[in-house]
Amino acid sequence: MAAREVTMTRITSCFTSIFLAAFLAACGAGETPSETASTTTPASENDIDLIVNGSHIVTMDEVGTIIENGAIAIDDGVILAIGSGDEITAKYSAAVTLDGERRIVMPGIVNGHSHAAMTLLRGVADDLALMDWLQNYIFPAEVEFVDAEFVRIGTELACWEMIRGGTTTFVDMYYYPDTIAQVVEDCGMRALISATVIDQRSPDAENADDGIRKGSGFIERWQNRNSRITPIFGPHANYTLNAEQLAATRDAAMKYGVPISIHLSESPFEVQNSQNTYGMTSIEHFESIGFFEGPTIAAHVVWPTQEEIPILAERRVGVIHNPTSNMKIASGIAPITEMLEAGVLVGLGTDGAASNNDLDMWEEMRLAAFLQKVDRMDPTAIPATTVLRMATSGGATAIGLGDTIGSLEVGKRADLIQVAFEDVHHVPTYDVVSHLVYVSDEQDVASVIIDGKVVMLERKITSIDTERVAEEATALAARIQAALNERNQAN
């Protein structure tokens, strides 16, 4: 199937991109006044920042164009042109060129739901049910150990792991969002960062009101500061906030014009709790209080009813599927096939490293496909192309960035990765998309470009001092381990 798609779409896409490239070049795209002023001989408008070659360019555009022996011209963080390697090389002269031999180029992966700094709590409490895990382990450990320093180191660790695995954008929900934003600004990733709102004492707020107040300050500080960073609100869930607090968080989000990320319909406990409290399931309750009137990124959504799925589609709620976390905490199997059929926007996420226990989006892709197949006893459920879309263009749309990233198209921001197809598990390759979803893993990711900047080159991360982060994480984990040992001895 994919091989036929290649031959059908390659020719038209090349012509279109050449035309657009010529048009953009004629307009002098990417040239800034300061660049012109500082050069004695004016640089040609075809002198650009970066050319990325690939044996295949998997664009993930609307029609699934795949270009063999292709290249992407990038300047000023934007994709200027996409075409055959020969055409792009003949037209443009780049400061940096990445070789494309045995390299598949695809959009950077979008991790739609994470708690990045929880990398530092990886493995401290496994094999527990969601409410036991949250209330008896995670929430107390967070109040005890989580401060701005913890968040800085844990988020750096997560960004390192995500870049290494080809993730270029993530939606985070954790504490000390200013610290998270600073790490993201420095490491070059793209992120929607939620200020957590929860009605209990948390590491950075006393209660929900305090959370909204501090979150508003965070949004004022970071809105329009860096185009890679979108500050948003992250009310925790229907069971950790009451109806007034949920509505107040939505009001604050509307005031600043920002989306909300939230855990929604995650477990049977949550649905039952909502029934008991409101006489309605979570999604019905949210609809009844007008919560979906602004953009919503909803993580998990494992237990939507048949009546609730059309609400999610109509309200354009971005559903983030977290198959590993849902399996590990035994939350259930989300009806992804039904949601996609109903037109719900669906992306993929890892959730935090304490419930996964890694940030490997390749694993999420594979499990998303396999879970639907075995749940429905139907091997045709969620084919490879669909799941790759959920991790790229579909995920970008679900988090509200569909016009900016998620596919390799002229005019979009240049977030892309090169995946090496040289390991034995890629020999032979009949179908590139099949291999990306069912074979590739994090170790295959060779280079990562975010917003036109190379942040990993041939597996060497250039934007994070990984040695320092490893040392700091190890030292902090030793302190956490000592405190846990002390507590266990006291009990």
CB closer to Zn ion out of 231 and 352: 352
List the interface residues with Zn ion, window 331-360 (CB under 5 A). 351
Query: Least distance from C-beta 198 to Zn ion, angstroms?
Result: 12
Token pair, residue 386, equals 């669909």
CB closer to Zn ion out of 61 and 351: 351
Query: Least distance from C-beta 266 to Zn ion, angstroms?
Result: 8
Query: Least distance from C-beta 172 to Zn ion, angstroms?
Result: 10
Residues 93/97/99/100 CA torsion (nearest 10 deg): -70
- Please tell me whether residue 27 adopts helix, strand or coil conformation: coil
Q: Do 319 and 338 form a contact (C-beta atoms < 8 A)?
A: no
d(CA 216, CA 213): 5
Q: Residue number with the shortest CB distance to Zn ion? A: 351
- Counting residues that bind Zn ion (by CB under 5 A) gives 1
Binding mask 294-333 toward Zn ion (x if CB under 5 A, else -) reads: ----------------------------------------
CB closer to Zn ion out of 60 and 110: 110
- Please tell me whether residue 25 adopts helix, strand or coil conformation: helix
CB closer to Zn ion out of 240 and 245: 240
Question: What count of other Cβ atoms lies within 10 Å of the Cβ of residue 278?
Answer: 17
- Please tell me whether residue 407 adopts helix, strand or coil conformation: coil
d(CA 44, CA 27): 12
d(CA 335, CA 159): 30
CB closer to Zn ion out of 51 and 116: 116
Looking at the DSSP bridge assignments, the partners of residue 450 are 453
d(CA 206, CA 194): 17
Query: Least distance from C-beta 350 to Zn ion, angstroms?
Result: 9
Query: Least distance from C-beta 354 to Zn ion, angstroms?
Result: 10
CB closer to Zn ion out of 55 and 267: 267
Query: Least distance from C-beta 9 to Zn ion, angstroms?
Result: 37
Q: Do 149 and 176 form a contact (C-beta atoms < 8 A)?
A: no
Query: Least distance from C-beta 325 to Zn ion, angstroms?
Result: 7
CB closer to Zn ion out of 162 and 420: 162
d(CA 99, CA 418): 10
Which of these, 147, 139, 126, lies nearest to 353 by C-alpha position?
Answer: 126
Looking at the DSSP bridge assignments, the partners of residue 297 are 261, 318
Which of these, 217, 144, 254, 232, lies nearest to 184 by C-alpha position?
Answer: 232
- Please tell me whether residue 214 adopts helix, strand or coil conformation: helix
Query: Least distance from C-beta 263 to Zn ion, angstroms?
Result: 5
**Does 287 contact Zn ion by CB under 5 A?**
no
List the interface residues with Zn ion, window 378-407 (CB under 5 A). none
CB closer to Zn ion out of 48 and 329: 329
Give me the residues that bind Zn ion (CB under 5 A), please: 351
